[in-house]
Amino acid sequence: MQPELAPLKDIATAAERISRFVKGIDYPAFLANEEKQSAVFGQIIIIGEAANRLPAAFRAAHSEVPWPKMIGMRNRIVHGYDEIDWDIVWQVAVDEVPELIDLLRPLLPPEEVDR
């Protein structure tokens, strides 16, 4: 993989981690588990930061991936850490992250795809 695209692997890894962290739990269990919340929160930050580090030309060439949304979510939760809407975090984790994984797989070399 080209070094300037290394953040793409970071995004995929963080997304896969989020999927593992929420697997087998429901929303009330997520709300009751500070470790799960913190883990998902941290991976969302990584996703947004890594998306921002990708070259603008790469992001433009793959506009099907919601880069601005990913970067915006990172900014909102980092700068508004004291006002986290856990409903939104949960929805992102269970609905949007699996879609993101599907969008990223074709962009990664086969040896870089977590299975």
What SS3 class is residue 54?
Answer: coil
Q: Angle at which helices 34-53 and 67-79 pack, to 10 degrees? A: 130
Q: Select from 35, 34, 32, 26 the least CA-distant residue to 93.
A: 26
62 assigned to active site: no
Structure tokens at 94: 């269970």
Diameter of the chain measured on Cα atoms: 41
Query: Looking at 20, 53, 59, 74, which residue is catalytic?
Result: 74
Q: Which residues are catalytic?
A: 74, 79
